[in-house]
Amino acid sequence: MPERAGARTELCLTLLFTLTSIVSTGSHLCCVSSGTCPSEWKQFGGSCYYFSLSWSSWNSSRQQCLSQRAHLVVISSRQEMVSLSAETSTTFWIGLSQTSSSSNWEWTDGRSPEAMYWRYGHPLTYLNRRCAVFNSFAAGSCLLRSDEGSIHLLAVVNPHHLQLD
């Protein structure tokens, strides 16, 4: 697929994190694996990250990331968390949710979250808390957020999987 700079600029302007039946809106972060990152994306390690300026629900955000062959950020290491923390002070949806059928938390890739990512006293399992955010204060800064409210999307993607016009 040929890559054009103009198409890259518009790739994920509307990428958002989403979770079924959540009505909250927020910004998002999308991610792709390494290669040459599109303009407007930041590279950390082997991945490209898009810090959205748009706001939407967790479900819409997730679907928009998937439509661009990206995904909501799944924080895989302390180093990744620290790198993201250094990049922004804005709160973003991440690819972590609690299924409606259980109280278990799960990354969108199916893995269980490691305890080191949770702020002290979390995770909480209140009925209305079904999604998580990254608020970029420090390692351990992934907090739960109720379904109400507005935050940004953060996406991760492999540049080789991007759909370019």
Amino acid at 130: R
Task: Name 43's Cβ contacts closer than 8 Å, sequence gap at least 6.
Answer: 34, 37, 49
pLDDT tens per residue, range 34-88: 567 778 888 887 888 888 877 777 777 788 788 877 888 888 877 887 787 777 7
Distance CA(51)–CA(41), nearest Å, equals: 7
Q: What is the pLDDT of residue 156?
A: 55
This prediction's pTM: 0.62
User: What are the domain boundaries of the chain?
Assistant: 5-156
pLDDT confidence of 155, banded at 50, 70, 90?
Answer: low
Listed residue (20, 34, 19, 35) closest to 153, CA to CA: 19
Decide: 158 and 33 in contact? Cβ < 8 Å.
Answer: yes
Residue 154 in contact with residue 93, Cβ under 8 Å?
Answer: yes
Question: Which CATH code fits 5-156?
Answer: 3.10.100.10
pLDDT at 162 over 50: no
> What's the full length of the chain, in residues?
165
- Contact call for residues 106 and 97 (beta carbons, < 8 A): yes
